[in-house]
Amino acid sequence: MASNKRVILITGANAGIGYDTSYALAAASPNNHIIMAARNVEKGEKALKEIQARKPQGSLSLIQLDVTSDDSIAAATKKLTSDFGVIDVLVNNAGIAMHGEPSREILRSTFETNVFGVMLLTQALLPLLKTSKDPRVINVSSGLGSITNRTDLNCDYYNLSADVYRMSKAALNMLSACQFFHCKDWGCKIWAYCPGYVVTDLTGADERQLRIDTGADSSETSAQGILEIVEGKRDGEVNMFIGRYGQRYPW
């Protein structure tokens, strides 16, 4: 692959926001190369083929990556190192929201994916990010992780329970702040990004009905927000918790 391309790795790229972001970034520039990371290779291949059929200007490839597996992270890091030698943008998008009464299993699984996976993958990829001239890390968080909003009893929008998910995204926000603290010296730009309430497998409802009932939007809008960050339009908000449409969230 031509070395002048911007190399962008997106986790959880086979579905929802990751899928739409893969297309949006590939469509935006012939200089973008998108590495779609999927834990399930069959799902990843299907998504890759669908996006390539839309003939975006940029190029795409696929890599197997389960963010909860150390072996998978190590194998992907090895392959990314030999195939690209650099990561310019890391979009830590893979995430889960489990339903039901909180249990140790639900707590563990949610934190494994939404927090530990992000921390350990980013750590493994640091040498590749350090090779970039303009390294960027986007941690896909959620407004539900805002402690400030949760403690505001008048904030209706935040009435939704989902304590475990909220806790995991609050931890991800702290991780983002720690990453910024450790990485600022070598110029890595880091954001926590809320993609907004959008219809995906994660929200798990009929798209039309969810839009009518709650005003949830399409995940393409979330992807556009990520594109803006990649293109430098939110560079004045590095180390902040931001969202689409120029939004900012309190930590």
Catalytic positions, written as ranges: 165, 169
**Residue 146 interacting with ligand NDP (CB under 6 A):** no
SS3 106: helix
Kindly report the three-state secondary structure assignment for every residue of 178-189: HHHHHHHHHCCE
How are beta strands 6-10 and 32-38 bridged, if at all? parallel
Closest by CA to 245, choosing from 155, 143, 115, is 143
Least distance in Å: CB of 173 to ligand NDP? 12
CA 4/CA 84 separation, integer angstroms: 11
Joined together, the tokens standing for residue 186 give 């070598």
| Type and span of the H or E element at 115 | none
By CB under 6 A, which span of 66-74, 82-90, 100-108, 224-232 interacts with ligand NDP?
66-74
Phi, psi at 161, each rounded to 5° = -75, -160
> Cβ closer to ligand NDP: 17 or 137?
17
Shortest Å distance, C-beta 185 to ligand NDP: 28
Nearer to ligand NDP, 130 or 158 (CB): 158
For residue 67, the minimal CB distance to ligand NDP (Å) is: 4
Length of the chain (residues): 251
Shortest gap between Cβ of 131 and ligand NDP (angstroms)? 24
- Over the window 190 to 219, marking each residue x when it contacts ligand NDP by CB under 6 A and - when it does not, the resulting string is ----xx-xx-xxxx---------------x
In the stretch 12-51, what mask flags binding to ligand NDP with x, by CB under 6 A? x-xxxxx--------------------xx--x--------
Token readout for 10 is: 């997106």
User: Residues with Cβ < 8 Å from 247, sequence gap 6 or more?
Assistant: 194, 196
| Closest residue by Cα to residue 85 from 12, 9, 14, 27 | 9
Count of residues in contact with ligand NDP, rule CB under 6 A? 31
Minimum separation from the CB atom of position 65 to ligand NDP (A): 6
Residue numbers 160-189 binding ligand NDP by CB under 6 A: none
Binding site for ligand NDP (CB under 6 A): 11-12, 14-18, 39-40, 43, 65-68, 93-96, 113, 117, 140, 142, 194-195, 197-198, 200-203, 219
